[in-house]
Amino acid sequence: MIKAIAVDMDGTFLDSSKQYDEQRFNRIFQQLENEHIKFIAASGNQYAKLKSIFGDRNMFFVAENGAVIYEGNTLYDYQAFERDFYQSVVNYLNIDRDIKEIIVCGLDSAYILKDNRESFKKEAHFYYRQLKEIESFQNLPKDEYVKIALNINRGTHPTLDEDLKNYFSKDLALVSSGRDSIDLIIPGMTKGSALERLLNKWDLTKNELMAFGDANNDLDMLQLAHYSYVMENCEDASLFEAANYVAPSNNKQGVLSVIEDEVLKINN
């Protein structure tokens, strides 16, 4: 029996316009609550962004690719980088590799440079509701830092993925949240590991977990859940190998359809 459902956001729960059928979800969510089935938004997004999508609900938020977990409005758990190491990674990207368009992600806020392009700032503000512009990355504000996000231009930095892996070895992990979007995270601090911690807290097993995803940063989440669904719009072949089932695309509200059909047994 399914007791918890974890869903990725972009490309999975949200359609290509970054929307979802709110009325339909409200009905589904109420039924999940009535049946004591936990609903978890599991995303590379910032907690504040996830809250803007779902509002005040009695649900869990796995944010920043698993580094931050909230229960409703309450911080439940987080894991931050060691400050000096984090600064060395930022300096390598910003100074050694001359990359300016970086989103430095803290627990309290995300940070970008004031002199970034306006188009980059606009996109950053869309994904990071708590976002501040700073003069320099070499004197970061006091915060607990959980992730670095950037888009790799493979034309100008064709070897950056491998260079980061080689330079920082086992102390840094790279996951893709879609196409050229890369998140630099603490090794082992993933959506899957966050869900494992929650399952242990709730005394549940992977056989009671349903999960939905479409990108590389969803891989271990799908490997964990017995009821694992890759979205049919996914472009990563490894996820089709990892998942046990395929859900209709995000533009068909596939997550909601599967929950209705397979969990709540709603006959539409």
For residue 82, how many other CB atoms are within 10 A of its CB? 11
| Phi (first) and psi of residue 61, to 5 degrees | -125, 115
Neighbours of 242 (CB within 10 A): 19
What is the number of alpha carbons within 13 Å of residue 165 lying toward its C-beta? 8
Q: Which of 8, 15, 183, 214 is catalytic?
A: 8
Question: Smallest Cα–Cα separation from 256: which of 23, 10, 28, 17?
Answer: 28
Residue 53 burial (CB count, 10 A): 17
- Which residue do the tokens 């890369």 mark? 182
Residue 98 a catalytic site member: no
Partners of residue 175 on adjacent β-strands: 183
Contact 132, 177 (CB under 8 A): no
Pairwise CA distance, residues 16 & 3, whole Å: 29
**CA angle (173, 177, 180) in 5-degree steps:** 90
Catalytic residue set: 8
